[in-house]
Structure 1
Amino acid sequence: MAATRRPIALAAAVATAAALGATVFALPALAADSSAAAAATATAPKLQLTDGTLEWGVKESFRKYLASPFSGGKITVKDGAVQAPGNGVFTFAGGRGTYDTATHGTDTAFAGGVGFYAHGGALDITLSDVKLATSGTGGAITVDVTTPQGARDDVEFATLDLSAVKPGRGEGGAMVFEDIPATLTKAGSEAFDGQYKEGDALDPATLSVKTVTPPTTDPTQEPGTEPTGTPSTEPTGSPSTGPGTKPTTTASPSPSDTATATGRPAATPGEIVDGTLDWGVKKSFRTYVTGPIAHGRAETTAGATASGDGYRFPDATGRFDAAEQTLNAEFHGRVRFLGHEENGAYTLDLSLTGMEIRVNGTRGTLTADVTTKDRTTKKVSTYPGLAVADLKLPKGKLAARNGVVNLTAIPATLTADGTKAFGGMYEAGEQLDALTVAVALDKDAELPGSAGGSGTAGGSVTTGGGGTAGGLAGGSVGGSAGGAGSLAATGSDLPAGALIAASGVVVAAGAGAVVVARRRTV
Structure 2
Amino acid sequence: MPANARPIALASAVATAAALGAAALALPALAAEKAPAAAAPAPTLELKDGTLDWGFKESFRKYLLSPVAHGRITVADGAKQAPDNGVFTFVDGTGTYDTGTHATANAFKGSVHFTGHDGALDITMSDVKLATKGSAAPTGEITADVVAKKMDGTVDSKNDIAIAALDMTGVRPGQGTGGAMVFKDIPAKLTKAGADAFAGFYKEGDALDPATLTVKAVTPPPSPDPTPTPTATTPSPTPSATTKPTTTPSTTQAPGKVLNGRLTWGVKESWRTYVDNTCGGDITPAGGATRNGQVYDFGFGRAELDQAARTADAGFVGSVLFECAAHGINWTVSDVRVKATGTSGRLVVDVTTLKGTKNDVTFADLDLSGADYNAMDGVVTLKNVPAKLTKDGAAQFAGPNGEEFYPPGTVIDPVTVALTLDEDAELPTTSGGSSSGGSTGGSATGGAAGGGTAGGSVGGGSVGGSGALASTGSEVPAGALLAASGAIAATGAGFVLVVRRRAAQV
TM-score, normalising length from structure 2?
A: 0.39
TM-score, normalising length from structure 1?
A: 0.38
